Amino acid sequence: MGKGREDVRELIEHEKEKRGGCVRCPAKPNEYWGWEAFDWDHVFGEKLFNVAEAVYESSKFGFRAHEVQQKVLDEIDKCQLLCANCHRTVSRERIRTRQREAEERWHVFVTRWVAA
Protein backbone atom coordinates (compact mmCIF):
# COMPACT_ATOMS: atom_id res chain seq x y z
CA MET A 1 0.00 0.00 0.00
CA GLY A 2 2.71 2.46 1.05
CA LYS A 3 4.70 1.48 -2.01
CA GLY A 4 1.74 2.34 -4.25
CA ARG A 5 1.57 5.81 -2.75
CA GLU A 6 5.29 6.39 -3.40
CA ASP A 7 4.88 5.13 -6.97
CA VAL A 8 2.08 7.63 -7.60
CA ARG A 9 4.12 10.43 -6.07
CA GLU A 10 7.08 9.58 -8.29
CA LEU A 11 4.86 9.28 -11.35
CA ILE A 12 3.36 12.73 -10.77
CA GLU A 13 6.78 14.28 -10.19
CA HIS A 14 8.14 12.64 -13.34
CA GLU A 15 5.22 14.07 -15.34
CA LYS A 16 5.97 17.52 -13.89
CA GLU A 17 9.63 17.15 -14.93
CA LYS A 18 8.48 16.34 -18.46
CA ARG A 19 6.44 19.58 -18.55
CA GLY A 20 9.51 21.50 -17.35
CA GLY A 21 7.82 24.31 -15.40
CA CYS A 22 4.95 26.78 -15.31
CA VAL A 23 3.22 27.37 -18.67
CA ARG A 24 2.20 30.92 -17.68
CA CYS A 25 5.45 32.40 -16.29
CA PRO A 26 9.15 31.43 -16.35
CA ALA A 27 8.98 29.64 -12.95
CA LYS A 28 10.87 26.35 -12.71
CA PRO A 29 12.01 24.42 -9.65
CA ASN A 30 15.13 25.98 -8.18
CA GLU A 31 17.13 26.11 -4.95
CA TYR A 32 14.17 27.73 -3.15
CA TRP A 33 11.24 25.57 -4.26
CA GLY A 34 10.67 22.13 -5.71
CA TRP A 35 7.95 20.41 -7.76
CA GLU A 36 5.56 20.61 -4.82
CA ALA A 37 5.27 24.34 -5.65
CA PHE A 38 3.70 23.43 -9.04
CA ASP A 39 0.05 22.46 -9.45
CA TRP A 40 -1.97 20.60 -12.05
CA ASP A 41 -4.66 22.90 -13.40
CA HIS A 42 -7.53 21.27 -15.30
CA VAL A 43 -8.08 22.86 -18.70
CA PHE A 44 -9.47 20.03 -20.88
CA GLY A 45 -12.37 17.64 -20.43
CA GLU A 46 -14.07 16.66 -17.22
CA LYS A 47 -12.20 16.85 -13.91
CA LEU A 48 -12.59 13.48 -12.18
CA PHE A 49 -10.26 14.14 -9.26
CA ASN A 50 -7.52 16.41 -7.94
CA VAL A 51 -4.18 14.97 -9.11
CA ALA A 52 -2.32 16.07 -5.96
CA GLU A 53 -4.84 14.27 -3.76
CA ALA A 54 -4.34 11.05 -5.73
CA VAL A 55 -1.07 10.52 -3.86
CA TYR A 56 -2.94 10.28 -0.59
CA GLU A 57 -6.06 8.62 -1.95
CA SER A 58 -4.27 6.02 -4.10
CA SER A 59 -4.20 3.41 -1.35
CA LYS A 60 -8.00 3.70 -1.00
CA PHE A 61 -8.90 3.43 -4.70
CA GLY A 62 -9.14 -0.33 -4.62
CA PHE A 63 -7.40 -0.57 -7.99
CA ARG A 64 -4.15 -2.30 -8.73
CA ALA A 65 -1.13 0.02 -8.83
CA HIS A 66 -0.93 0.17 -12.65
CA GLU A 67 -4.64 0.99 -12.88
CA VAL A 68 -4.22 3.85 -10.41
CA GLN A 69 -1.23 5.11 -12.37
CA GLN A 70 -3.17 5.03 -15.65
CA LYS A 71 -6.03 7.00 -14.06
CA VAL A 72 -3.55 9.57 -12.77
CA LEU A 73 -1.95 9.86 -16.23
CA ASP A 74 -5.38 10.26 -17.86
CA GLU A 75 -6.17 13.07 -15.42
CA ILE A 76 -2.78 14.75 -15.97
CA ASP A 77 -3.52 14.75 -19.73
CA LYS A 78 -6.37 17.20 -19.00
CA CYS A 79 -4.11 19.59 -17.10
CA GLN A 80 -1.60 22.37 -17.62
CA LEU A 81 1.18 22.79 -15.09
CA LEU A 82 1.18 26.09 -13.21
CA CYS A 83 3.35 27.41 -10.41
CA ALA A 84 1.38 27.95 -7.19
CA ASN A 85 1.29 31.74 -7.69
CA CYS A 86 -0.08 31.49 -11.25
CA HIS A 87 -2.54 28.81 -10.13
CA ARG A 88 -3.94 31.18 -7.52
CA THR A 89 -4.19 34.06 -10.00
CA VAL A 90 -5.74 31.94 -12.77
CA SER A 91 -8.28 30.48 -10.32
CA ARG A 92 -9.23 33.99 -9.16
CA GLU A 93 -9.62 35.15 -12.78
CA ARG A 94 -11.89 32.17 -13.51
CA ILE A 95 -14.11 32.96 -10.53
CA ARG A 96 -14.36 36.60 -11.63
CA THR A 97 -15.19 35.55 -15.20
CA ARG A 98 -17.93 33.19 -13.96
CA GLN A 99 -19.36 35.95 -11.76
CA ARG A 100 -19.32 38.42 -14.67
CA GLU A 101 -21.00 35.88 -16.97
CA ALA A 102 -23.67 35.19 -14.37
CA GLU A 103 -24.27 38.92 -13.99
CA GLU A 104 -24.51 39.30 -17.79
CA ARG A 105 -27.02 36.43 -18.02
CA TRP A 106 -29.04 37.99 -15.25
CA HIS A 107 -28.90 41.37 -17.01
CA VAL A 108 -30.12 39.80 -20.29
CA PHE A 109 -32.89 37.98 -18.47
CA VAL A 110 -34.05 41.08 -16.59
CA THR A 111 -33.83 43.28 -19.69
CA ARG A 112 -35.99 40.85 -21.69
CA TRP A 113 -38.40 40.37 -18.84
CA VAL A 114 -38.83 44.11 -18.32
CA ALA A 115 -39.18 44.68 -22.08
CA ALA A 116 -41.84 41.97 -22.49
Question: Where along the sequence are the contacts to Zn ion (CB under 5 A)?
Answer: 22, 24-25, 27, 83, 86
Closest distance of CB 33 from Zn ion, Å? 11
State whether the Cα torsion 42-47-53-56 is positive or negative.
negative
- Closer Cβ to Zn ion, 39 or 69, answer by number: 39
Q: Are 21 and 48 in contact (CB under 8 A)?
A: no
24: buried, middle or exposed (CB in 10 Å: 19+, 13-18, 0-12)? middle
- Closer Cβ to Zn ion, 59 or 85, answer by number: 85
- Closer Cβ to Zn ion, 68 or 81, answer by number: 81
Closest distance of CB 23 from Zn ion, Å? 8
Closest distance of CB 116 from Zn ion, Å? 47
